[in-house]
Structure 1
Amino acid sequence: MPVTSAPAPAVTPPPDAAGPSVLHRTGAFCARHPMWVIAAWLLLMAAAMLGRNAVGATYSDEVSLPGSHTQTGADLLEGSDPALADPNGKVVFHVDSGKVSGHGDALTDSLGRLSDLPHVADVSAPVTSTDGATTYVTLSFDEDIKSLGHTYVDRLDEATEPARNADVRVGYGGDLNTIAREPANDRAAEAIGVVTAAVALLVAFGSVAAALLPLATALVSVLAGLGVVGIVAGSLTLATSAPTLAAMIGLGVGIDYALFLTTRFRQDVMDGYDTESAVGRTTASSGRAVLVAAVTVAVALLSLYACGLSMIGRLGLAATLAVAVTALAALTLVPAALGLVGRRIDTLKVRRRPVAETSGDDDGWHRYAGMIARHPWRFLVAGLAVVALCATPLFSMRLGHIDDGADPAGSPTRNAYDWIADADGPGFGPGANGTFTVVVDLTGATLPTDRIADDLADALKGTEGVAGATAPRPTQDGRLLVTTVTPTTGPQTAETGGLFETLTDHTLPATLKDTGTTAYLTGSTTGQLEFRDTVTERLPLIIGIVLVCAFLLLMVVFRSLVVPLKAVLLNLLTTGASYGVLVAVFQWGWGDGLLGMSGPVPIESYVPMMMFAIVFGLSMDYEIFLLSRIAEEWHTSHDNRRAVGKGLSLTGRVITCAALIMTAVFLSFAGSPTVVVKMLALGLAISVILDATLVRLVLVPALMFLLGRGNWWLPRWLDRLLPRLRV
C-alpha cells in the first residue's frame, strides 16, 4: 500500500522499564521548547561568524618536511648566504611579434619600478630567449611571498604598466603564482549546491515544509561550523581549501542527517504518535545512528594527523569541526524544528506520495529484497564487476603537483608558464618552470672546491633528463657550492619526478663519493616531489588506522565480527572505484573539458589520502543507517532474511534520496576554479552515489543473504568483554 500522510489517532508510547534514554529526553525537550532552541542556535551562528571576523583567520598551504633534502638545503643556504634563500618569483615580459628589446625604454622603466617596490630585495639581470620574444627577471623578496597577499599584485601591475603601455605582455611565474592567481571564490558553487539540494529535497519529500526543514537546519549548522573553523584558524593556521572543504562536507552530512531524522519523524507521525513522542523516538533511534555515524566520520578525518603532515591533519580537523557542529545541530536544532512544525510537516504538498519509512511487507523494496534473496550470487557478481571496472584505472594512478600549466588559459600565471615553456635558449623550456637547486655542503671537503665543481658540472651535464645547469659557484663564505638544474620536462611530469630520484639516488652520491661532501636538492619543485613521496609512504598507515578504528566501532555497535569486516572491505572497494574515476577524468583527460580543465593533470598528491578519510567516513554513514535498521529487526525476530528485507525496505528509499542530494551538493563544487576542489568534489560525488546504490542496495544485502546467521557471529567471551553501545 502507498504511504499516506493522513493524520492518525495519537498513540501512547509503550512503557519503557529502563525509562527514556538521554537522547529521547533531549529530543522531547527540544520539541517542547522549539523557539528557545532555535534562538540559541541562531545566536551561536551569529557569534561564530562574528568571532571568525574578529580573530583574523589565517590560511596557508606551506608544508614543513624536517630532515628532507628540501628543508636541509634551504637551512644550509639560509645559514651561509641568506640572500640565496630569499623567496623569489618571476616577472615575464613577452611580445607576440618582434623582440622585447625593441621596447627597451619601457622595459627599463618597469624594471626600475619593480626594484622600488616594498619588500623587493633584488631584481636579477634579464634573461632573454633565443628569438628575443620573451624576457624574464627574478624578483627576490625579504619576506614570504604569500604574506604579501593578493593585493600586492596591484603593485606589480602598476610597476609594469610602462611595459604594458608599450604593447608588451606581462605574466607572473615561480612562487609569485601564490598571490597572482585569482583567489578561489566558491560562493557560486555553494549557492548552486544549496539550490540543487532544495530542488532535490522538494522532489524527494513532496512538500515545501518537509523540504525546507532539512535545508534550513543544515545551513544554520554549516554557517556556525564555518565560524568555528575560522575562529580556530585565527590561532592555528589551516590550509587554504579548509573552509571550502568544511562547507562541502558540512552541507552534505547536514542535509543527510536532517533527512534521516525528518523521515523517521514523519513515519512516527503517520503511525499516530503525538509530536513530542515522535520527536523523542526519532532522536533516540535515528539520532543515535547519526551520533555513531558522526563519530565514525570524525575518527576517519582526525586519523589524517597520523601522516605527520600538519597541513593535511588540519584539513581533517576543519572537516571534523564542521561534522561535529552539524551532528550537534541534528540532535538539537532538527528536533526543535520538528517540534515547531509538528503535524504540519506536509504543508504545501506538491505530490501525493511522500518519502517516509514503510513497513508494508508487500511494498516495492520488500519485493526487491526478495529478488536479491533468490539470486544473491548474481547480484554479488554483477555488483563487484561494476566496481572493479570503475577501479581499473586506479592501477595507473600517478601522484604529483598541479602546476601553473593547469591554470585558466589567458591568466597571468598561465601566460608566464607558457611563454617560458615555449621559448628556446638557456633558462627556457618546460623545465625552466620547475628547476632544482643543488646545494653541496663543503664543510668536510677533502678535495679542492674547483675540482668538486668541475666534476659536479660534468656529472649534471651527462645526466639524462637535464636540459642544462648553471656553473657551480661557491657562496661568499665558501661553505657551500650552489648550482641550478633545469630539467627537459615540466614540473608535473613523471619524467621530472624520475630525474629527481636519479639525482638524489645516483648522480650526486656517485659524483661526490669520497670527497667528504654531501649534496641536497632544494626549491619548490623538490619540496613538492618530497611531499608526494611522504604522502605515498604514509597512506597505508592512514588506511590501517581508519580500518581498525571503524572495525572496532562497528563491532561494538552491532555485536558482530562479520558485519564490520564486510563493511570495511566494501568501503575499500568504494574508495578504489572513486580513485579509478579520478584517474580516468583528470589524469587520462576523459571529459576534463566539462570541468573547465585545459588538459590532463596528475592526481594531486594529498587528494587520495583526504578522499580515503572522507569517503570512508561518509560511506559508513549509510552503512550504519542501513545496518541499524537491519540489526533492530534481527534482535527482535532473529530471522536474518526478514531482518535484511525489512532494513532495506525501511531505509532504501531514504538512503537513495540522501545520496542523490549529497551527490548534487558535491557536484556543484566541481565548478570551483581550484583544481584540487574539483578533484575532491567529483571523487566524493562518485563515491557517494556508488556507495549508496551499488554497495548499500546491492552488495550489502546480497552478502548478508549469503552469510545468513553468520552475519551476527561473535564469540561469547568477546561479547562479555565489549562495552554496550546501542544504535
Structure 2
Amino acid sequence: MITEAGAEPGLLHRTGRWCARHAWRVVAAWLVLIVGLGVANHRWGGTYADSFSLPGTAAQTGTDLLKAHGDASSSGVSSPLVLDAGHGTLAGHQAAIGTAVGALRRLPDVLSVTDPLTTPGAVAKGGAIGTVTVRFSSNPAGFERSYLNGVDAAVRPLRADGVTVEYGDPLGQLAEPKSADAVSEAIGIGVALLVLLIGFGSVAATGLPLLTAVLGLGVGLSGLGLIAAHASFAQAAPTLAAMMGLGVGIDYALFLATRFRALLRAEEELDPAEAVGRTVATSGRAVLVAAATVAMALGGLYASGIGFIGALGAAAGITVVVAACASLTFTPALLGLLGRRIDRLHVRRPVAEPTGDGDVWHRWAARVGRRPSLFLAGGVALLAVLAAPVASMHLGHVDAGAQPASRTDRRAYDLIARGFGVGANGPLTVVVQLDGDEVADASARQRLATTLHSDLAAVPGVASVTPPVASTDHVLLISTVTPTTGPQDRATTDLFHTLQNTALPHALDGGGGATGYVTGVTASGLAFTDQLVAKLPLIVGVVVGAAFLLLLTVFRSLLVAVKAALLNLLSIGAAWGVVVAVFQWGWGGSLFGVTEKVPVESYVPMMMFAIVFGLSMDYEVFLLSRIRETWLRHGDNHRAVATGLAATARVITCAALIMTSVFLAFLLSVNVVVKMLALGLGVSVVIDATVVRLVLVPATMYLFGRANWWLPGWLDRLLPHLDPEGDGQ
C-alpha cells in the first residue's frame, strides 16, 4: 500500500498493519510463548538469593585469604541456629542438642555443624541462649524451600524438649513467609482497571492495556526465571521486574490505544488496520524511544562495576523490553480485532482527546503561560523542600532486626542481641596475612597476636575481641571483633572504617610485612556500601549523559535536553528525600509495616535513580513529542506547549495513577527493601506527572520561547535523525 504522499510506509507502519490484519496469528504466537516459557520456568527455572563479590576490596581479599589458608570452618556459607532454653539452661538439654547436631550434619549441602556446649563462646552468659553454626556448601537462601523440611526434622528433638529454635540469616531468608507480590500485582491491576474505566469510559479500551501488560509480565518473569538458572539475581529481582513490567506495560499499551481511538474519531472512513499502522508508526515510535531510554538507564547500572547491581537492572530491563515488544505486536493485534468496536461497550460516554481551546488542560496551560516564572519558582521550591532530607541520608544494610517479629530471622536476631549483645549480630572478622619470617617464627607470631589483641580491644566501640589464632599453615592470624552497636547503626560503620584504616595498620606497624583486612558478612556489606557511594556519581553521569544525547537527537534542541535532565534530577532528589524521611527518620514508617528506623539500603538510591530517570523520560518523550509536532506544524511556541499539554495530560495523568498504584501496592511486601523501592518509585511518579510534567516543563518552555528549538547547524548535521512520532508512515 502507498501512502498519500506516494511513499512506501515505514517498517513500524507495516508491522502494525500486519499485526492488525493477522491478529489471530499474533495472539496465538504470544499464547504459545507464555505457556511454553511458563512450563519451562516451572521445570528448569532458577532461584534468587542475595550474593555478591567485591573484587579489589579489603573485605573480599580477607575472604579470599580465609578460603585459601583457613580450615574447614572458613569455607562455604555459615548460618546460625539460635537456641533458647527459656528459664532453664542449654546444658540441661544435652541429649537433644547432640541428636539435633548429628541430624544437621547428615543433611545434604552441610559442611560442618558446631555443638554449642563444646564450642567456646557459643553459649551466652546465664546458659539459656546459644548458637549452632551450620556451614553450608553454598548460600542456603537460594535452596529450594523444601530444604527447610529437613532442617525442621533435624531440630524437632530440641523443640520437643522445650527448646526454642530460630533460624538466623541466610537460612532465615529461605524461611521467609511467602511474598505478597501476587496480591500486590492484583491490587495494582484492580486500581488500573478503575482508573482506566473512569478516565476513558470504554470497557474494551480499559481491558486492552491490562491484558497486554499481564501477558508481557508473564513472559518476562518466566524468561527471567530461566536466566536465573544460569546467572545470579538478588531476592528483590523478580519483585522489581514485576513492578517495572506491569507499570510500563500498561503505560505503553495505553498510549497506543489512545492514539488509535483518536485516529478513528478524526477520520470516520479510515480502515482500522491502516489506523493501527499509523498508530504504531507514531505512538509506537515513541514507545520504542521510551523503552530504549528506560533500558539504557537500567543498563547504566553496570557502570557501577558491581554485578549484583547490574543484575538487578538487567532483571527490570528484561520485563521492560518484553513489555515494549508486547505493546508493539500484541496490542496492534487486539486493536485490529476490536476495530471501531473499541468504544462499543462503555460505562459512560468515551472521552476523546481535546480538540479545542476551552478544555480544562488548555485553560491550565494558559494559566501557567501567564505567570511562568511564578509557577517555575513554586515548583522548584516544593521539590527542594522534599529533597532536603537527602542531606542526612545514611546508607547501610537493612538487616533482620528491621523485619516483622513474625519472621524467624527477626526472632533469631532478637535472641542473639538479648544473649550476646546487639553487636553479636554483626561481628567483624580481622584477618592478618603474615610475612615469611613471621610464618616461620612462632614467637614473632605470638608477639604480634598479643599486640593485635590489645590494640583492637582498646578501639572505642569494640565490645570484645577474640584472641587471634593462627591458621593451620601459620600464614594467617584470625580474630573476631564484636561491636557494641548493631550492624545497621552508623557507629558500626564508623568502627569498620576505623579498624580498616587506622587501628589495624597501627597494630601491625611493627609487624614486619604483615597486612590486615577486615572481612565477614557485615564488613562485606559495609564495603559494598562504600563502593556504591563511590560509583554513584559515575552512574548519574553515564545515565544523564546518555539520556541527554538521546533527547538531543530526538528533539533537536539543546535547551529541551538540558532542561529534561535537570528537572529529572530534581524529581529524583525529592523522591530520595521522602524515602529518608519515612524509613531513616521514621516519619510514618509504621503505616508501611516498618517497626523501627532503618538506614537507606545502600543500593536503593542507585536503583531508584536509574528507574525514575528512565520512567520520567517516558512521560517527557510523550509530552515533548506532541509539543514538537505542533511546533513543526505551526511555528508557535505558546500554541505548541498548550496543545501538547492538552493532548497528553489526561493520558499521562491516568498512566501515572496506574504506575503509582502498581508501585505502592508492593508496600504489602514483607521485604523492607522492596517497601523502600515501592514508596520511592510511587512518590517519584506522582511528582514527575504533576509538579514536573504539568508545571515545570510548560513553565520553562514558555520562558524560553523560540529558544526551545534552537540547535547549532553543525550539531544538527552531526546528529542522526530519530523522530519519536513520525508522520504515520
C-alpha change, 1:445 and 1:387, in structure 2 (3 Å) is farther
Q: Distance in 2 between matches of 1:14 and 1:59?
A: 51
Q: Distance in 1 between matches of 2:58 and 2:285?
A: 49
Tell me if the contact between 2:49 and 2:142 (Cα under 8 Å) persists in the aligned partners. Answer: no
Report what 1:441 is aligned to.
433
Match for residue 113 of structure 1 among 96, 103, 106: 103
- CA deviation after TM superposition for structure 1 residue 214, in Å: 0.9
The aligned runs of 1:346-495 (5 Å cut-off) are: 346-352=343-349, 354-423=350-419, 428-445=420-437, 448-495=444-491
C-alpha change, 1:24 and 1:144, in structure 2 (3 Å) is closer
Tell me if the contact between 1:150 and 1:180 (Cα under 8 Å) persists in the aligned partners. Answer: yes
Q: Distance in 1 between matches of 2:425 and 2:654?
A: 47
Tell me if the contact between 2:179 and 2:670 (Cα under 8 Å) persists in the aligned partners. Answer: yes
- CA deviation after TM superposition for structure 1 residue 235, in Å: 2.6
Match for residue 206 of structure 1 among 181, 201, 205: 201
Instruction: Say which SS state the counterpart of residue 82 (structure 2) adopts.
Output: strand
1:635 aligns with 2:624: no
1:578 aligns with 2:575: yes
Q: Which moved more, 1:238-247 or 1:322-331?
A: 238-247
Q: Distance in 2 between matches of 1:193 and 1:435?
A: 41
1:123 aligns with 2:107: no
Match for residue 221 of structure 2 among 217, 221, 226: 226
Q: Distance in 2 between matches of 1:283 and 1:148?
A: 44
Report what 1:322 is aligned to.
319
Instruction: Say which SS state the counterpart of residue 479 (structure 2) adopts.
Output: strand
* Paired AA for residue 93 in structure 1: L
Match for residue 283 of structure 1 among 271, 280, 285: 280
Instruction: Say which SS state the counterpart of residue 482 (structure 1) adopts.
Output: strand
* Paired AA for residue 581 in structure 1: V
Q: Distance in 2 between matches of 1:629 and 1:559?
A: 14
Instruction: Say which SS state the counterpart of residue 429 (structure 2) adopts.
Output: strand
* Paired AA for residue 455 in structure 2: A
- CA deviation after TM superposition for structure 1 residue 228, in Å: 2.1
Q: Distance in 2 between matches of 1:250 and 1:489?
A: 40
Tell me if the contact between 1:114 and 1:123 (Cα under 8 Å) persists in the aligned partners. Answer: no
Q: Distance in 2 between matches of 1:508 and 1:18?
A: 74
Q: Distance in 1 between matches of 2:135 and 2:335?
A: 60
Report what 1:237 is aligned to.
232
Match for residue 558 of structure 2 among 548, 556, 561: 561
Residue-by-residue CA offset, 1:231-281 (whole Å, 9 max, x unaligned): 322332322322222211111001001111111111111113421232222
Residue-by-residue CA offset, 1:489-540 (whole Å, 9 max, x unaligned): 0011111000000000100001101312011111111110111111111111
Tell me if the contact between 2:220 and 2:318 (Cα under 8 Å) persists in the aligned partners. Answer: yes
Q: Distance in 2 between matches of 1:143 and 1:29?
A: 50
Q: Tell me the matched-pair count.
A: 711
* Paired AA for residue 124 in structure 2: S
Report what 2:184 is aligned to.
189
1:689 aligns with 2:686: yes
Instruction: Say which SS state the counterpart of residue 168 (structure 2) adopts.
Output: strand
C-alpha change, 1:147 and 1:659, in structure 2 (3 Å) is closer
Q: Which moved more, 1:457-466 or 1:405-414?
A: 405-414
Instruction: Say which SS state the counterpart of residue 150 (structure 1) adopts.
Output: coil
* Paired AA for residue 18 in structure 2: F
Structure 2, unaligned runs of 5 or more:
725-729
- CA deviation after TM superposition for structure 1 residue 95, in Å: 3.8
Q: Distance in 2 between matches of 1:244 and 1:418?
A: 27
Residue-by-residue CA offset, 1:83-123 (whole Å, 9 max, x unaligned): 13122221211144344444444344433433444424231
Match for residue 33 of structure 2 among 44, 52, 69: 44
Q: Distance in 2 between matches of 1:355 and 1:549?
A: 37
Q: Distance in 2 between matches of 1:393 and 1:13?
A: 58
Q: Distance in 1 between matches of 2:143 and 2:722?
A: 52
C-alpha change, 1:504 and 1:630, in structure 2 (3 Å) is same
Match for residue 313 of structure 1 among 310, 314, 338: 310
Q: CA RMSD in A?
A: 1.9
1:32 aligns with 2:21: yes
* Paired AA for residue 364 in structure 1: V
Report what 2:658 is aligned to.
661
Q: Distance in 1 between matches of 2:546 and 2:385?
A: 29
Report what 2:210 is aligned to.
215
C-alpha change, 1:51 and 1:291, in structure 2 (3 Å) is same
The aligned runs of 1:154-193 (5 Å cut-off) are: 154-182=149-177, 184-193=179-188
Tell me if the contact between 1:34 and 1:339 (Cα under 8 Å) persists in the aligned partners. Answer: yes
Tell me if the contact between 1:115 and 1:123 (Cα under 8 Å) persists in the aligned partners. Answer: no
TM (norm. structure 2) is: 0.94
C-alpha change, 1:214 and 1:174, in structure 2 (3 Å) is closer
* Paired AA for residue 612 in structure 2: V
Instruction: Say which SS state the counterpart of residue 347 (structure 2) adopts.
Output: coil
Q: Distance in 2 between matches of 1:284 and 1:398?
A: 46
Q: Distance in 2 between matches of 1:38 and 1:148?
A: 36
Q: Which moved more, 1:378-387 or 1:495-504?
A: 378-387
The aligned runs of 1:132-143 (5 Å cut-off) are: 132-143=127-138
TM (norm. structure 1) is: 0.95
Instruction: Say which SS state the counterpart of residue 160 (structure 1) adopts.
Output: helix
Q: Alignment identity in percent? A: 52
Tell me if the contact between 2:298 and 2:611 (Cα under 8 Å) persists in the aligned partners. Answer: yes
Tell me if the contact between 1:150 and 1:183 (Cα under 8 Å) persists in the aligned partners. Answer: no
Tell me if the contact between 1:397 and 1:583 (Cα under 8 Å) persists in the aligned partners. Answer: yes
Report what 2:505 is aligned to.
509
C-alpha change, 1:356 and 1:478, in structure 2 (3 Å) is same
